[in-house]
Amino acid sequence: MPGNKPYTHSSRIRFTHTDPAGYVFFPRYFEKFQSAVEDWFNEELEVDYAGILLDRELGLPTAHTECNFLKPCRLGEILDLSLRLTKVGSTSLTVEFFGSVAGEQRLHGQSVLVFINLEDGTPVPIPGDLRVKFEDYHARC
């Protein structure tokens, strides 16, 4: 696994993310949160995110999310979203997102993700192999 810094997902602000004034339309940030989580699994934790859903038949929906928008992001900027794991529960994870452009903080968000059985939507315990990876990341970052 990579070093002791929080995982950072970088992405360009595209035309499809913005309103007519060229500012990111706020729901698009939540899509970027999801992209950051998926890439965190794949790149940082070295766990195939798609495999969790398709092979293990587990979902990981967002049960709660919130965001404080400190300054808008504009078309063409690169948004760096750093992900910090703040809590590993029995069935859920709490992650914080710190968004910046060129080192300037633009947003701070948080999401609670819950492992569920895809068949009936009920919460399930975090699988042991994943719990080890989450706890290791939490301790390192």
**Mind listing the pLDDT tens digit for each residue in 46-64?**
999 999 999 999 999 999 9
| Residue 41: other Cβ atoms inside 10 A | 20
Look at residue 123 and tell me if it is in a domain. Answer: yes
Look at residue 2 and tell me if it is in a domain. Answer: no
Is 90 exceeded by the pLDDT of residue 131?
yes
- Count of domains forming the chain: 1
Look at residue 56 and tell me if it is in a domain. Answer: yes
What confidence score (pLDDT) does residue 64 get?
98
Look at residue 72 and tell me if it is in a domain. Answer: yes
Look at residue 93 and tell me if it is in a domain. Answer: yes
Is 60 exceeded by the pLDDT of residue 1?
no
What confidence score (pLDDT) does residue 3 get?
61
Which tokens in the block code for residue 55? Answer: 């092979």
CATH no. for residue 34? 3.10.129.10
End-to-end CA distance of the chain: 12
Look at residue 1 and tell me if it is in a domain. Answer: no
**Mind listing the pLDDT tens digit for each residue in 37-50?**
999 999 999 999 99
Is 90 exceeded by the pLDDT of residue 87?
yes
43: containing domain: 7-140
Residue 73 three-state SS: coil
